Amino acid sequence: MAMTRRGFLAAPPALAAMALMPSPLLAAVAAQTPALPDLSDWEAVRAQFTLDPAYMHFASFFIASHPAPVRDAIEGYRRAIDANPFLVIERGLFEDEAHNVPLQVQTEIADYLGGRAADVCLTPNTTTGLALVYHGLPLTPGDEVLCTTHDHYSHHESIRLATERAGASMRKIPLFTDAATASTDSLVDALLAGIGPKTRVVGLTWVHSASGIRLPIRELAAALRARRGPPLLLVVDGVHGLGSTDETVAELGCDYFCAGTHKWMFAPRGTGLVWANAENWARLSPTVPSFSDFDQYDAWEKGTAPASPTNANRVSPGGFVAYDHQWATAAAFRMHRQMGRARVAARIRALNDQCKAGLAENRKVKLHTPMPGELSAGLVAFEVEGLSPAQVVKQLLARNIIASTSPYAVTYARLAPSLVNTPEQVERAVRAVREVSG
Ligand SMILES: Cc1ncc(COP(=O)(O)O)c(C=O)c1O
Which pLDDT score, from 0 to 100, does residue 15 have? 34
CA gap 319, 290 in Å, rounded: 7
DSSP 8-state symbol, 251? G
Q: Digits of tens for pLDDT over the chain (438 positions)?
A: 444 544 333 333 333 333 433 456 667 677 767 788 999 999 999 999 999 999 999 999 999 999 999 999 999 999 999 999 999 999 999 988 888 999 999 999 999 999 999 999 999 999 999 999 999 999 999 999 999 999 999 999 999 999 999 999 999 999 999 999 999 999 999 999 999 999 999 999 999 999 999 999 999 999 999 999 999 999 999 999 999 999 999 999 999 999 999 999 999 999 999 999 999 999 999 999 999 999 999 999 999 999 999 999 999 999 999 999 999 999 999 999 999 999 999 999 999 999 999 999 999 999 999 999 999 999 999 999 999 999 999 999 999 999 999 989 999 999 999 999 999 999 999 999 999 999
Strands 256-260 and 199-205: unpaired
How many angstroms does the Cα of residue 286 sit away from the middle of ligand 1? 22
Which pLDDT score, from 0 to 100, does residue 25 have? 66
Q: State how far the alpha carbon of 303 is from the alpha carbons of 9, 295, 319, in Å.
A: 19, 12, 20
Q: Is the CB of 237 under 6 A from ligand 1?
A: yes
CA gap 316, 318 in Å, rounded: 6
How many angstroms does the Cα of residue 318 sit away from the middle of ligand 1? 21
* Ligand 1 atom nearest to CA at 154: 4
Q: Which residues pair with 122 in a beta bridge?
A: 273
Which of 239, 404, 412 should be mutated for ligand 1, with most atoms under 8 A from CB?
A: 239
Q: Which residues pair with 146 in a beta bridge?
A: 171, 202
8 Å CB contact between 205 and 237: yes
* Ligand 1 atom nearest to CA at 61: 14
How many angstroms does the Cα of residue 297 sit away from the middle of ligand 1? 31
CA 171 to chain centre: 24
How many angstroms does the Cα of residue 407 sit away from the middle of ligand 1? 10
How many angstroms does the Cα of residue 63 sit away from the middle of ligand 1? 9
Q: Is the CB of 125 under 6 A from ligand 1?
A: yes
Q: Which strands make up the sheet holding 365-367, listed edge to edge?
A: 365-367, 380-384, 413-415, 404-405
CA gap 364, 386 in Å, rounded: 8
Which of 125, 126, 213, 262 should be mutated for ligand 1, with most atoms under 8 A from CB?
A: 126
Q: Is the CB of 272 under 6 A from ligand 1?
A: yes
CA 415 to chain centre: 19
Residue type, 245: T
Q: What is the CA radius of gyration of the chain?
A: 23
CA-based nearest residue to 359, from 397, 377, 391, 385: 385
8 Å CB contact between 51 and 420: yes
Q: Is the CB of 260 under 6 A from ligand 1?
A: yes
Phi, psi of 249 (to 5 degrees): -55, -40
Taking the CA of residue 142 as centre, how many other CA atoms within 13 Å lie in the half-sphere pointing to its CB?
1
Which pLDDT score, from 0 to 100, does residue 24 have? 65
How many angstroms does the Cα of residue 1 sit away from the middle of ligand 1? 28
CA 426 to chain centre: 25
Q: Is the CB of 205 under 6 A from ligand 1?
A: yes
How many angstroms does the Cα of residue 265 sit away from the middle of ligand 1? 13
Dihedral sign computed on CA atoms, order 110, 113, 118, 120:
negative
8 Å CB contact between 227 and 189: no
Q: Is the CB of 261 under 6 A from ligand 1?
A: no
Q: Is the CB of 325 under 6 A from ligand 1?
A: no
Go through the domains of the chain in sequence order and give each one's CATH number. 119-338 (3.40.640.10), 341-437 (3.90.1150.10)
How many angstroms does the Cα of residue 120 sit away from the middle of ligand 1? 19
Calculate the CA dihedral of residues 404, 259, 96, 72 and round it to 10 degrees.
Answer: 20
Which pLDDT score, from 0 to 100, does residue 7 have? 39
* Ligand 1 atom nearest to CA at 272: 10
* Ligand 1 atom nearest to CA at 125: 10
CA gap 119, 100 in Å, rounded: 16
Q: Is the CB of 210 under 6 A from ligand 1?
A: no
Q: Is the CB of 154 under 6 A from ligand 1?
A: yes
* Ligand 1 atom nearest to CA at 127: 11
Which of 62, 134, 154 should be mutated for ligand 1, with most atoms under 8 A from CB?
A: 154
> Could you tell me which residues come within 8 angstroms of residue 340 by beta carbon, excluding any fewer than 6 positions away?
none
